Amino acid sequence: MKTEKLILSFIATALGLLVAGIAFYLFQATKTITPTNTKTVSFATPTPTPIPSIFLTIDRPKDEEVVNSKVLVISGKTASNAVVVVITETSEDVIEPAENGDFSTTVSLTDGQNILEIISIAPNGESIRIKKTVTYSLEEF
């Protein structure tokens, strides 16, 4: 008797869930949305940023590097037909990169923080600038 009751209540629950599911599906399938309730979302096409004809990467030194030598090697890569200008607080240098675009030069540092400004100028006048801070210090801490 007890088992019968249990089976019956299980069947009843399953049937109820099935009926409710069918009813919900039918409701969703037949639902219509009026145009007043719809909202059109449009995405503005982003304006493409013009790609510069020049690039500049600095391999050495690392930005914010602390060094213990007053002579610093600056090396990097840019367009082979560009002109690279390296400006520090006390000196400046104009370099022509190699055929593969590699360039390298040395600069003298002053005590403390030094700002290195590296500018690469393409033959059409376009340029790219990179600023780096290099600190010369012998302090131990």
Partner 1 sequence: MIKKGLVFLLTVNCYLLIVVAAYAATPTPVDKIQEIRDQLITNIASRVAQLKLVEKRGIIGVVNDVTNTQISVADLQNNTRFVDVDELTKFSNPAFKGIFGISDITKDSTIGILGLYNKESRRILARFVHVVTTPFIIHGGVAAIDSESFSLSITTEEGKQMTVDIENITRTFSYTPDEGYIRSGFSKIKENYNIIVSGALDIKDESRMTATRVIFFPQIPVSPKVNSALERAHKPK
Stretch of 5-13, 27-35, 99-107, 109-117 contacting partner 1, by CB under 8 A: 109-117
Q: How far apart are CA 136 and CA 113, in angstroms?
A: 6
Q: How far apart are CA 7 and CA 75, in angstroms?
A: 82
Which residues, at least 6 apart from 89, have a Cβ–Cβ distance to it below 8 Å? 110, 114, 115
Three-state secondary-structure class, residue 39: coil
Tell me which of 38, 45, 49, 124 binds partner 1, using CB under 8 A. Answer: 124
Q: Smallest distance, Å, CB 87 to partner 1?
A: 6
Would you say 6 or 115 has its CB closer to partner 1? Answer: 115
Query: How many beta carbons lie within 10 A of that of residue 107, not counting itself?
Result: 21
Tell me which of 75, 104, 105, 117 binds partner 1, using CB under 8 A. Answer: 117
Token pair belonging to 21:
């599911």
Q: Smallest distance, Å, CB 104 to partner 1?
A: 16
Contact residues for partner 1 (CB under 8 A)? Answer: 64-66, 83, 85, 87, 89, 92-94, 96, 112-113, 115, 117, 119, 121, 123-127, 129, 131, 133-135, 137, 139, 141
